[in-house]
Structure 1
Amino acid sequence: MTATLPPVGAERGPRRWPLLGNLPAFARDPLAFFESLRDDYGDWVPWALGPRRNVLLSRPEHAGELLGAVEGSFVPAELGWAFRQLLGNGVVVAKGEDWRRKRALVQPAVRPRQVRAYAATMVECADALARGWREGERIDVHREMAGLTQRIAVRTLFGSDAAGREEPISAAMATAQRELGAEFRGLTLFLPPWVQTRGRRRMRAAVAVLDREIKHVVREHEAASAAGEERDDLLGRLLAARDESGAPLSRKELRDESITLYIGGHETTSTTLTWAWQLLSGAPDARARLTEELDRVLGGRLPTHDDYPRLVWTQQIVKEALRIYPPIWLLSAVATRGATIGGREVPAGTLVWTSPWSVHRDPRWFPEPLAFRPERWDADAAPPAAEHAWFPFGGGPRACLGARFALVEAALVLAVLGQRFHLDTGSERAKVFPGLTLQPVGPVPAVLRASGI
């Protein structure tokens, strides 16, 4: 049963600055800000991002209700100039009939059957990385995981056409990530599109690089298709997709969906793997259980997609890393006329937020929430107190299309690398930067140890 919400006018919220609202506190540390709203004011908290009315929801059932009502009594929120520059009008941003058309075109490319076909590439790329590592070597875990997932994303999305083009794509995406996070947390969020700051100029330059690289690959795919060559990558499937009227995706739509899938297949998985290795480094019992499972299930061979269901503990490690460090840390929607949450009317135009970071770290749903305990997800463990207490991929009709891809990729990469190495990062956890995804601040250094040590 859903919790009783406060009557209209009875809720409390933080003190606001004139015009700025709660922007200073939000910009200083948005993660801590949302936790403080939850702890100090409750599960339904009014606050202000600039002059606009906002509400933060912190109960899982309310979050689930919000996400389930998007494209109904709620619509996706506009998240600023930089966000739109990067994602264009892709399936994450599109609304209404346009969104339904694009989802129908994109979804077949990432269904479980297609993910199975990409699993071999995931394993091959991870194996190549492991073969280049040496015991005792010092590495930056985040850099290594970003490079690995980028190679996987480029190969599964663009095929071999993008070989040698990974570096400019990666550098441009890193710049876009930084600038998007900076704009979202600052006054630039409220500036009209024609105002050009230094950050916006850097963003434009990064997007121009991405546009150029994707255009190059699309042209090569089209030339191959004209020559009768069939491509079994994501871009090839997008090029072949047709809507109900028989129309393909336009060049601009191909660009937008390629960026969206790249972020889903690279940015989110690289950070998940980085946090997973760091959490394992501080949990020797969990690491030992991983070694035992890999030895038992794989017996020294490389994993395949068929092994994924049997890598139960590996999957639980991924799930627990996603709980503590959800890459997508904030979700929002705008109320339309007639919108309600928990039976309470939400005024039209209200921007409603929910934060996987805050909900996942709430001790009401996960005792000792900062503790890394993959055993929380054991089959015989007590379930969380609420159905939507874990939602790193969102939920409802607009749940992340690439969730299956990301979960399989993370588990298979952990299996390949974990067979050979323990990544010793020490017990101290890196600080986090909430940009487009939840990134570690700076390098995450580690020493490579032989697995089992």
Structure 2
Amino acid sequence: MPILSTLAGRATWLIQLVAARSREPKYIVAAFAAVVAIWAARYAYRLVVPPRALRHLPHAPMTAYLRSFVRGDGFLEYKPVLLDLTRKDALRKGAIKSMEDTPTVFLAWLLGRWIVHLARPEDIKMLYTQPEVFEKDVVSDGLGFMPLFLGRNVFSVPTPEWKHHRKVVNPAFRRGWATSFFGEPARHLIAELDAASAAGKTIDPADWMQRMTLDALSLAAFGTNLDSIRHPNGDMVALYNAIMKDVVNLRDLLNPWYKRSAKGQQMKLMIEQFNDFVFDLIDTKTAQLKEQGKLGRDGAEGEGDDRRDLLEMMIEAAEGSDFTREDLRANTIIFFLAGHDTTANELCFAIYLMGLHKDVQAKARAEVIRIMGEDAARHAATCDAVDMDYPTSEQERAMIYINFVIKETMRLYPSVAKLPRRITTAPVTLTDGTKLPVGTKITVDTYAMQHDKAVYGPDADEFKPDRWASTVGKDNTVAMHPPAHNYTWAPFGGGQRICLGMQFSLVEQRVVLAMMLLRYEWDVVGNASALRGVPDMIPSDVTLHSKGIKVQLRRRNVA
């Protein structure tokens, strides 16, 4: 880069002068200024240009990413644009044959770093099944106050530390989840939706599903329902929502003085308040378990485990170990955070897609009626919300077509559009021969892979739940793990560190969608972009969260 050569030469000359005339302040100042200029130029250069070892990979220019961040574009606005710019570079470099193809490995820029993105299922399988080579890239201080919120948990820590966490956390997840965790809050949801339907009002499913899943998660994680459906402005609900609104605001993270700003200090205070709330729950529940004589028993398994909350089971499993109070808080928070927002997004998109595709909605409803029975379906459509039946565990597990809808929704709109970063601990050669050096930051681009026409055919961008009919097994269940799909479907991640909350999310989606289908018929209305199949999104580089979708509900007529 010419400017670097010029500045380096100038600095060398000045340093020589300083050595010769060390007592002359003007030369010392000039030399210092030149060194600062070189450092700034090198920093800017590394910010704009990928590392030398990765420069041959296709990538969109840094300015395109920065422009989308500054404008606050939603994911579905900027992702196709950036992918097209990446395709143009890939075409120029001979990595693809046409603009219809998606590069299987490419670079993307994020907050001053260039990250390798994988979109080939074979490479994705390699990453998920070789954790010793693709290690977790621990959340850094550059992510504002997110480390203070998340702490070190089973999701974020490197493998050696992960093994310590999983001994306590895994038993709490290796069990069934009672459908009452979801059915009871869903009754409250339906009572509110009935009022909107009776008044002819449209609803934003994103808002209601966020509240629904927040209540289910607080019940399952803490044993305490925050009741955000009926009390959306409650103290803890308002505090949590305020944190979630801005904790990963990219504009703030681009501000080097954010953590010292008034806004940053306010975020820190809110996180500390929420952490204190969780610590109080931990202390109260620990005291209760001691009083009941439940601590110190062998393991956390027993009668009715599917109805016990996560925190209770983790406290029991941690007894006698070096698992700290902070470890309990961090692992409860990550489950609470990941299980709430991601499942809410998927429920929203499933309702949205079935509102656009009435044939799919009708087919899904027919399955639920068949499984739960005509009498139960008639009762569910006409009773008071508080008396509405929800599926049993046996019934929700029998919903095959509902699983097709869920899988297709999660393919088109994976809540986590890309895997949180890994870092290579050894040189890696990908399946196309691409070599990655040690220390390469790398991720799975779930969205790009699950929209790749080379993987899913020319209708890859279309909503077709029946494409999953071939995944029904001999036991009449629908395969949901990545190996069953050769890693072409992996919205929950994969390998030994697959999302622990996967089954929780799937049960919740089946229960809530079944209840919605029994109670209502609905259409998407209003928002023009949503009606075109491209709903607006809240700005984020990681999660897909819609805004502005409008749905018109009608109580089912079963007369």
Give the alignment's TM-score, normalised by structure 1.
0.85
Q: Evaluate the alpha carbon distance shift between residue 355 and residue 77 of structure 1 in structure 2; reply closer, same or farther with a 3 A threshold.
A: farther
The count of corresponding residues between Structure 1 and Structure 2 is 434
Q: How does 1:184-333 map to 2 (within 5 A)?
A: 186-188=253-255, 191=256, 195-228=259-292, 232-242=308-318, 246-247=320-321, 249-299=323-373, 300=376, 302-331=390-419, 332-333=421-422
Shift of 1:405: 0.6
Given candidates 333, 343, 348, the residue that maps to 2:438 is: 348
Give structure 2 stretches of 5+ with no counterpart: 1-52, 91-102, 295-306, 377-388, 473-478
What corresponds to 2:189 in structure 1? 129
With over 3 angstroms needed to count, the CA separation of the structure-2 counterparts of 1:422 and 1:335, relative to structure 1, is same
- Asked if the contact 2:179/2:391 (under 8 Å) is kept, the reply is no
Query: Which residue does 1:99 correspond to in 2?
Result: 162
Q: Is the 8 A contact 1:141 1:444 kept in 2?
A: yes
> Deviations along 1:180-228, whole A, 9 cap, x unmatched?
432388524xx48x94235433431331232122122222212311321
Q: Which residue of structure 1 lines up, in the alignment, with residue 500 of structure 2? A: 401
Q: Give the stretch that moved more between structures: 79-88 or 259-268.
A: 79-88
Q: Considering Cα pairs closer than 8 Å and 6+ residues apart, tell me whether 1 or 2 has the greater RCO.
A: 1
2:176 to 105, 114, 117: 114
Cα distance in 1, alignment partners of residues 128 and 81 from structure 2: 22
Residue 432 of structure 1 and its aligned partner are, at CA, apart by: 1.6
Aligned residue for 2:360, secondary structure, equals: helix
Shifted more, 297-306 versus 167-176: the winner is: 167-176
DSSP 3-state at the match of 1:412: helix
SS in 2 for 1:286: helix
TM-score by length of structure 2 reads 0.70
- Which of 193, 212, 221 is 1:157 aligned to? 221
Gaps of 5+ in 1: 1-6
Shift in Å, 1:109: 1.0
Which position in structure 1 is the counterpart of 2:46? Answer: none
Asked whether the equivalents of residues 140 and 446 of structure 1 are also in contact (C-alpha less than 8 Å), the reply is yes
Q: Does residue 390 of structure 1 match 2:489? A: yes
How far apart, in 2, do the equivalents of 1:386 and 1:328 lie?
A: 18
Distance 1:411 1:82 in 2: 34
1:340 CA displacement = 3.4
Identify if the C-alpha distance between structure 1 residues 374 and 136 changes in structure 2 by more than 3 Å, giving closer, same or farther. Answer: farther
More displaced 10-residue stretch of structure 1: 96-105 or 166-175: 166-175
2:144 touches 2:259 (CA, 8 Å); kept in 1?
A: no
Match of 1:3 in 2: none
Aligned equivalents of 2:322, 2:81: Cα separation in 1: 44
The Cα of 1:440 is off from its aligned counterpart by 1.1
- For residue 35 of structure 1, report the CA deviation from its aligned partner: 2.5
The equivalent residue for 1:39 is 87
Match of 1:174 in 2: 241
Aligned-residue sequence identity (percent) comes to 24
**Residue in 1 aligned with 2:459?**
368
- 8 Å CA contact 1:56–1:353 kept in 2: the answer is yes
Paired residues of 2:57 and 2:107 also in contact (CA < 8 A): yes
Larger Rg: 2
Distance 2:104 2:353 in 1: 29
Which of 120, 123, 130 is the aligned partner of 1:69?
Answer: 130
Query: What residue number does 1:86 align with?
Result: 149
The one-letter code sitting in structure 2 at the alignment partner of 1:446 is V
RMSD of the alignment, in Å?
Answer: 3.1
| Residue number in structure 1 paired with 2:510 | 411
SS of alignment partner, residue 176 of structure 2: helix
